[in-house]
Every structure is written in structure tokens, then in C-alpha cells.
Amino acid sequence: MGGLGKTTLAKLVFDSQKVTTQFDCRACITVSQSSTVRGLLINMMEEFCGETENPLMQMLHKMDDKSLITQVRQYLQHKKYLIFFDDVWQEDFSDQVEIAMPNNNK
């Protein structure tokens, strides 16, 4: 149900200094109903890499899905990361994206 302030509250926590200092990288991704996993992973990497001139960002758009997932996993493998997926409507969403998220106990 919209309008309850879920996103506002989650974003306040996500942006708080207590949280930001605890993670190597963070991303806040809005998931539209027409989003693809591929698009979400590329958006996520863009947020992780920020405004840097990282050559990896140019390569991501050209990679096939399997290579993209491998690259995301490699990037996150040794990092403590936080990803906030907002406006998710699909019940199986986590099943679709978790393949790219390493469980590194961080």
C-alpha cells in the first residue's frame, strides 16, 4: 500500500551517517514494474562506481547476462555492501537478483 512513508523511512536509514560508514558500497535502486534484472544490475554498478571514469562501466553494457552477473559478483565478493531495492512488486524478485549477490558473510 502506497503513501505510508515506507520509502521515506528506509531512505532516512540508508542515508544516515551511522549506516553509510558501515559499508564499502551502497546502492538505492527503484524497481519499476518494467525493470529487468540486467538493467537493475547495471544501475546498481553505476551507483557503486559513482561518477568515476571506471572503464568497467563501459564494458557492462556490452556484456551478456552471464558475464554481467559474474562481474557484479566479483565486484562485491570482498566488500560489505548494502542494496536497497525500492518499490518491488514481484513476489519472486529476490530469487531473480540473489544470483548476483555473493553471500560473503559481511
User: In this structure, is residue 30 part of a structural domain?
Assistant: yes
| pLDDT beyond 80 at 46 | yes
Q: What is the pLDDT of residues 87-101, one digit of tens each?
A: 998 888 988 899 999
Report how far residue 14's alpha carbon sits from residue 26's, in angstroms, rounded to the nearest whole number: 8
User: In this structure, is residue 31 part of a structural domain?
Assistant: yes
Query: Model's pTM, two decimal places?
Result: 0.85
User: In this structure, is residue 103 part of a structural domain?
Assistant: no
User: In this structure, is residue 44 part of a structural domain?
Assistant: yes
What percent of the residues of the chain are helix, what percent strand, and what percent coil, each to the nearest 5? Answer: 50, 10, 40
Domain of residue 73: give its range.
25-97
Count up the domains in the chain and report the number.
1
Beta strands in 9-74 (DSSP E): 25-30
Residue environment code for 24-34, b if the CB has 16+ CB neighbours within 10 A, otherwise e:
ebbbbbebeee
User: In this structure, is residue 75 part of a structural domain?
Assistant: yes
Q: What is the pLDDT of residues 17-37, one digit of tens each?
A: 999 999 999 999 999 888 899
Burial class (CB in 10 A: 0-12, 13-18, 19+), 41: buried
